[in-house]
Structure 1
Amino acid sequence: MSIGISDEHLELAASLRKWAADLKGRELARAAEGDVGERFGRVWQAVRDMDVHAIAAPESAGGGGGTVLDQAVALEACAHELVPGGLLGAAIGSTLTGRPGRYGVQVRPGGAVWDGGTADEVLGPDGSFFVGEVRPEAGLDLGARHGRVVEPRAVEADERVRRTAITLAAAEAAGVARWCLSTAVEYAKVREQFGQRIGAFQAVKHLCAEMLETAEAVTAAAWDAASAADARDEDQWEFAAAVAHATCFDGAVEVAKACIQVLGGIGFTFEHDAHLYLRRALALRALVGDGDAAAERLTAAAVDGVRRRVHLDLEGRDGPIRDDVRATVERIAQLPEEQRRAAYVETGYLTPHWPAPYGLGADAVTQIVIDQELARSGLSRPDLVIAAWALPTILEHGTDAQRERFVKPSLLGDLVWCQLFSEPGAGSDLASLRTRASRVDGGWRLSGQKVWNSVAERADWGICLARTDPDAPKHRGISYFLVDMRNSPGIDVRPLREITGKALFNEVFLDDVFVPDEMVVGDVDDGWRLARTTLANERVAMAGSRLSTSTERAVELATAGVTPAQQVAVGHSIASSTVCSLLGVRATLRSLAGRGPGPESSVAKLLGVRNRQDGAELVVSLHGDDVLLDASDEVRRDVWEMLNTRCLSIAGGTTQILRNVAGERILGLPRQPRTVHR
């Protein structure tokens, strides 16, 4: 997905990509190799005719009168087609001065002048115009002519110059990453080796999925920096720009390198365009400077209490419902805590996206307003745990009797659920499960072994997949059962001690357990489809301002003083955690715009797992050798969290399986042909 989310931004990006492609920037860049003279005059004339560089400049000065986000959308689209000749410098200068022009910009005192080799005017790091000679040089980026100040002068850097430059350069980095991702994926779909398309090989598929993760992170951070610039809150813009600095430029370089890796030998040739994008990504990173400095700034800001707070503009659509929602939430808040859960259920506020009478069938706007008002009142909903997986299936596929018996009591917390899906020989590959269900009078007898079952030791009911037709193909012949965990003879629940030393999971042995026909959900042999149920009216969540648990803990430890290297590490964790929240915000905005879910939710899980695991490990490293001793309760808790988070890349589908899914369902890469043994 591109930086733009609204219809207007999507249309702007599409039209500019088409316009930019006609400029044939990649051909011009090759033709200008090593030549420091003006080779991009035709491109600049086209840019000026379209005012692409001056979208954020006021109309009164001859600009487009748009926002910084509008300008970022345009830059991303043009970078996708590698428009040469100084567009980025012109956009930065026009945005800073409010006057359209062909600018070079020196962001760091003594550093290179961005696009100074093609500029009419040069802005210095202090925001003033530079008077003196700027010598153009042909460097790494064949599509740009940066410059060197012949007689540099000492000036103080202006933070607004730096932030504007990083914000708009991040948009270019997003465009580079997008082109590299799409180019690699399209090649992997058609290139054949060893008798099949290379995109079917898991190694290539995972590499492309990792490119998707990084490209989405780059895009989200670039979008947020531009959005924060428009909000005119300097602290928030500084924070968002630092996240973009720490995320976008290293990310674009990594995606560009991975693109060449997927392309193989053809990607290493000068004739292929891939190296031009790698050159642009490397040049952008060199221009903005080391991302570690941004990470240090993030740590300092977070220690001072700054967090990214993204405002969702509901465009007045909340007006008709806001007062009623606020009044309902205030009534709930006035109740004793032990009565609030029942009030959540009765009002539908516990699961507002579910259909009535268990929810409100709420649209995205209503869900967001409810979340906002709950947060304003300091309220949080109780966690449904496994019931959040079981009840949607019962709602959609169960009988009226099943819904009546199970849904409301579970919402009230009177019934606790566990999930009996995974097996020792069928973890992520649930279709290979071996637990069998044999038909008997009035129902079924279930026999088999389940594993990794949380809360099974105290569950009232379990949702269970079992094979009802052993002769059917593996994804068929499976049925979905509701198992009475307390009253059914033949169930043996055994605690399973994990690497933390505690037993949060269980093994469950089913020995001829009877399940009556009325406890089969949906049709017999249709359980695989049911297991993948999601309600048509998807949950829309409002992202909070808090970082992930481990990252917040790392910030807390940083307040007591850490080494410079540790401060950098904490800052990168802050950037990663913030990006995960931004992906959720973008998914919510997409829902508000009436579009289906994009890749953000899948990417958010993959990046979120990595952030939580890396963050927990970082926290332990901040304790140093205290973890080797009979440590305090505080240190023991942090060590337990680090060990416990190792399960996150396994539970709910391993990271590797999820990357297969992302590669095939989001990127459209081919499945690996199955080998049939005869």
Structure 2
Amino acid sequence: MSIGITDEQVELADSLRKWAASLSPVEAVRAAEGDVAADFAAVRAAADEMGIAAIAVPESAGGGGGTVLDQAVALEACARELVPGGLLGSAIGALLTGRPGRYGVQVHPGGVVWDGGAADEQLLLDAGEVTPEPGVDLSARHARVAGVAGVAAGGEDLRRRLLAVTLAAAEAAGVTRWCLEAAVDYAKVREQFGQKIGAFQAIKHLCAQMLETAEAVTAAAWDAAAAADADDVEQWAFAVDVAQVTCFDGAVEVAKSCIQVLGGIGFTYEHDAHLYLRRALTLRALVGSADAAAERVTAAAVTGVRRRVEVDLEGRDEAVRPGARATAERIAGLAAAEQRSALVDAGYLTPHWPAPYGLGADPTTQIVIDQELARAGVVRPDLVIAGWAVPTILAHGTDAQRERFVRPSLLGELTWCQLFSEPGSGSDLASLRTRAVKVDGGWSLTGQKVWTSVAERADWGICLARTDADVPQHKGITYFLVDMRSAGIEVRPLREITGEALFNEVFLDEVFVPDECVVAEPGDGWRLARTTLANERVAMASARLTKSVERAVEIAAARDLGPVEHVEVGRQVALATVCALLGVRTTLRALGGHGPGAESSVAKLLGVRSRQDSSELVVRLQGDDLALLGALGKESDDPLAADVWEQLNTRCLSIAGGTTQILRNVAGERILGLPR
């Protein structure tokens, strides 16, 4: 997906990619190899005519009158096609001066002049002569200043750096996208050992990891550009530092992985892959140290800075906000014990669910309700497994099942567990062995389930069991609602690595389930297990970071950590911020009437990495006290004991709900279209 989210931005990106491709930019790059004086005149003239580098300059000054985000969308599109000729320097210069032009820009004192070799005007921090020199990036003509370092105004220096990194991140996103597409396209057609290489799990996982990185790069680049258009320098600086930590290393890694997937052909000079790797390496060198940016992120986080993304609802909230505010304030005024039923009665506990259990709310209304409940201090109770079970009943159950189960579940009167995983199946639910035999008035279930949370106190369980062994695996499964107090059910706790028992084994020995507790028809279980309501939940990400990242920031504030540790904390803050941004982008797509993009699919993969890595960092920051730690506990009075519990507990995240490896298979096949 592009940086752009709105229909207008997506259309801009698509049209500019087609325009850029029509210029045969790679051919122009190759033709100019070795010629330091080459200025890509034809491409530059076409870009000038289109006003590419002046999209964000006011119309009164001869520009396009767009936003910095519009400019970023354009640079991303052009970078995907490797358009040469200094668009990056010209775009930065146009924003600094407020007028179009062909600019070279020195971003760091004593540093390179970006695109200075293709410029008519130089914006320098040092006095001296500008000399173009050959570089690694064959599509650019950067330059050096020979002279004595000057002194520049601090405010202008900051804005210059922020603009430069913002727009360079957009180019990094474009490079990343081309590399991902090139690798995936090749993996779909290249054959080895009698099949397409994209069918090999190693290649599939590598491409899925490229997708994860590409989505992170895109989200961070988008946020930096969006923040540039807001009137908050502190927020913009934070977003830029997150982008500097994320985008440039990410672009280099994806470019390297692209060559790896391409194999020998990718290592040849004739293939274009190395040109994109060269651009990525150069962009990373130009912006400067990601570690320095990570240290700035830590410093800002310690002072309380968090990324706050403001969403413009464009007036669509005006009709619903007064009513939402009044309802939220009324609920807030009730006693705590009465608030849950009031949320249910108002449809505010699950506003995305259909009436009478929700409001069938559109994305805008869901956002407004969230905002007003938060403003009033009302916290929704977590539905836990009911949040998975009840939507299936709503979508596929009978009226009697909805009447029996939905409202009591919302009120917290019924607790649910999920009886899906088995010792021999795990993520491969199609291979489950629990069998259901038809008996008079219902079914008799026999088998074993495992990794079942809250089974020891659940009232009901959603259970998949095989009802037909003579049809293909996916077609012989039925979806049951099981009374957990039925005869024949035995629950045995499983002690986990934390020392506690949150999971359970559940044994079913000829457990009777009446016909009225079958959801849909026998054999529909696989389809139902994958069901979601058409009207998905939409929510804005919190400005607060995840638990362990906030804890790492707390430790950084309280302890005298070294620069290495500050960098590590900053990288975790950046990753957690990017994970939140993926959710924001999904929400903005929903507000625009579109389904989720790839970012929603990789959010779990990146989120798991964030939670596991940050919880491990928190423990490492506290030194060797771990060696003498006694009992662990989530709610322990000893902070380290709670931190170690969290580190151990998060190991389940890359297993539960589908292992990371299985999810990468899914991402490779369903999003990237790689062969099975």
Q: TM-score range with shorter-chain normalisation?
A: over 0.9
- Return the alpha-carbon distance in structure 1 between the equivalents of residues 332 and 458 of structure 2: 29
Q: What is aligned with 2:535?
A: 537
SS of structure 2 residue aligned to 1:5: coil
1:397 aligns with 2:393: no
Pair 131,620 (structure 1): closer, same or farther in 2 beyond 3 Å: closer
Secondary structure class of the residue paired with 2:473: coil
1:186 match: secondary structure: helix
Measure the CA separation in 1 of the matches of 2:422 and 2:334: 43
**Unmatched segments (≥5 aa) in structure 2:** 631-636
CA contact (8 A) 1:298 1:574 kept: yes
Paired position in structure 1 for 2:275 = 276
Give the one of 140, 143, 149 matched to 2:145: 149
CA distance in structure 1 between the partners assigned to 2:269 and 2:498 by the alignment: 52
Deviation at 1:34, TM superposition (A): 1.8
Q: Is the 8 A contact 2:17 2:81 kept in 1?
A: yes
3-state secondary structure, aligned to 1:237: helix
In the alignment, the residues of structure 2 paired with residue 380 and residue 309 of structure 1 have an alpha-carbon distance, to the nearest angstrom, of: 20
SS in 2 for 1:447: strand
Is 1:5 aligned to residue 10 of structure 2? no
Map 1:451-600 → 2, pairs under 5 A: 451-486=450-485, 488-561=486-559, 562-600=561-599
Q: CA deviation at 1:411?
A: 0.3
Q: Per-residue displacement from partner, 1:650-670 (whole Å, max 9, x unpaired)? A: 000001111111111111111
Q: CA deviation at 1:124?
A: 2.4
Instruction: Please report how far the alpha carbon of residue 378 of structure 1 lies from its aligned counterpart in structure 2 after TM superposition.
Output: 2.1
Work out the CA distance in 1 between the residues paired with 2:600 and 2:89.
34
- 8 A Cα contact 2:184 2:672, kept in partner: yes
What pairs with 1:305-454 in structure 2 (closer than 5 Å)? Answer: 305-454=304-453
Equivalent position of 1:251 in the other structure: 250
Deviation at 1:403, TM superposition (A): 0.6
Alignment of structure 1 residues 646-657 onto 2, 5 Å: 646-657=651-662
Letter in structure 1 aligned against 2:68: V
Question: In 2, distance between residues paired with 1:148 and 1:655?
Answer: 46
Distance 1:75 1:118 in 2: 17
* Count of residues paired in the alignment: 666
CA distance 1:493–1:286, shift in 2 (3 Å): same
Residue 20 of structure 1 contacts residue 78 of structure 1 at CA under 8 Å; is this kept in 2? Answer: yes
How far apart are residue 255 of structure 1 and its match? 0.6
The within-5 A match list for 1:21-60 is 21-60=21-60
Distance 1:350 1:105 in 2: 53
Distance in 2, Cα, partners of 1:415 & 1:661: 33
Q: Give deviations 1:405-431, integer Å, cap 9, x for gaps.
A: 100000000000000000000100000
Q: Structure 2 counterpart of 1:650, which letter?
A: I
Q: Secondary structure at the match of 2:509?
A: strand
Report the more deviating stretch, 209-218 or 19-28: 19-28
SS at match of 2:361: coil
Contact 2:127 2:150 survives alignment (8 Å): no
Q: Aligned partners of 2:239, 2:549: CA distance in 1, in Å? A: 17
Give the alignment's Cα RMSD to 1 decimal: 0.9
Paired letter, 2:395:
E
- Deviation sequence 1:71-108 (CA, Å, 0-9, x none): 00000000000010111000000011111111111111
In the superposition, the TM-score normalised over structure 1's length comes to 0.97
State yes or no: 1:659 paired with 2:657. no
Contact 2:127–2:148 (8 Å) recurs in 1: no
State the one-letter code of the partner of 1:442.
Answer: G
SS at match of 1:493: strand
Q: Distance in 2 between matches of 1:96 and 1:218?
A: 25
Whole-Å separation in 2 of the counterparts to 1:61 and 1:398: 62
Residues 230-282 of structure 1 show CA distances to partners (whole Å, capped at 9, x for unaligned) of 00200000000000000000000011001101111111111110000000000
Query: SS in structure 2 opposite 1:149?
Result: strand
Spell out, residue by residue over 1:462-481, the C-alpha distance to the aligned partner (whole angstroms, 9 max, x if none).
00000001111111111011
Matches within 5 A, 1:95-110: 95-110=95-110
Aligned equivalents of 2:217, 2:500: Cα separation in 1: 38
Hey, what does 1:121 align to over in structure 2?
121
Partner of 2:633: none
Q: Following TM superposition, by how much is the alpha carbon of 1:10 offset from its aligned partner in structure 2, in angstroms?
A: 0.8
Residue in 2 aligned with 1:224? 223
Distance of 1:236 and 1:124 partners within structure 2: 26
The residue identity in structure 1 corresponding to 2:442 is: G
CA distance in 1, matches of 2:541, 2:522: 40
Query: Where in structure 1 do 4 or more consecutive aligned residues deviate above 6 Å?
Result: none
Shift of residue 131, structure 1, vs aligned partner:
5.5
Q: Describe the SS at the equivalent of 1:448.
A: strand
Paired with 1:471 and 1:10, the residues of 2 have a C-alpha distance of 49
Q: Distance in 2 between matches of 1:370 and 1:96?
A: 40
2:648 counterpart letter in structure 1:
L
CA distance in 2: counterparts of 1:525 and 1:143, whole angstroms: 58
CA distance in 1, matches of 2:208, 2:406: 37
| Contact 1:173/1:281 (8 A) holds in 2 | yes
**Partner-residue secondary structure (3-state), 1:185:** helix
The answer to whether the 8 Å contact 2:39/2:118 transfers is no
Give the letter aligned to residue 122 of structure 2. V
One-letter amino acid matched to 1:665: R
- Whole-angstrom CA distance in 2 between matches of 1:24 and 1:136: 24
- State the shift of 1:145 in Å: 0.7
TM-score between both structures, scaled by the size of structure 2: 0.98
Shift of residue 57, structure 1, vs aligned partner: 1.1
Q: CA deviation at 1:39?
A: 3.7
| 1:136 to 2:141 alignment | no
Deviation at 1:8, TM superposition (A): 0.7
Give the conservation status (yes or no) of the 8 Å contact 1:33–1:138.
Answer: no
The percent of aligned pairs where both chains have the same amino acid is: 75
Segments of 5+ residues of structure 1 without an aligned counterpart are 672-678
Alpha-carbon distance between aligned partners in 1 of 2:377 and 2:101, rounded to the nearest angstrom = 49
CA contact (8 A) 1:56 1:64 kept: yes
CA distance in 2: counterparts of 1:14 and 1:415, whole angstroms: 50
In structure 2, what residue type is equivalent to 1:49?
E
CA deviations 1:596-636 (Å, max 9, x no partner) are 11111111110000000000000000111111123661100
Q: Counterpart of 1:675?
A: none
Partners of 1:538 and 1:524 lie apart in 2 by 26
Q: 2:266 — aligned with what?
A: 267
1:58 Cα deviation after fit = 1.4
1:81 corresponding residue in structure 2:
81
2:634 match: none
State the 1:574 CA deviation: 0.5
On the 8 A contact 2:25/2:81 being kept in 1, the answer is: yes
CA distance in structure 2 between the partners assigned to 1:455 and 1:288 by the alignment:
50
2:462–2:479 Cα contact (<8 Å) kept? yes
In the alignment, the residues of structure 1 paired with residue 85 and residue 391 of structure 2 have an alpha-carbon distance, to the nearest angstrom, of 55
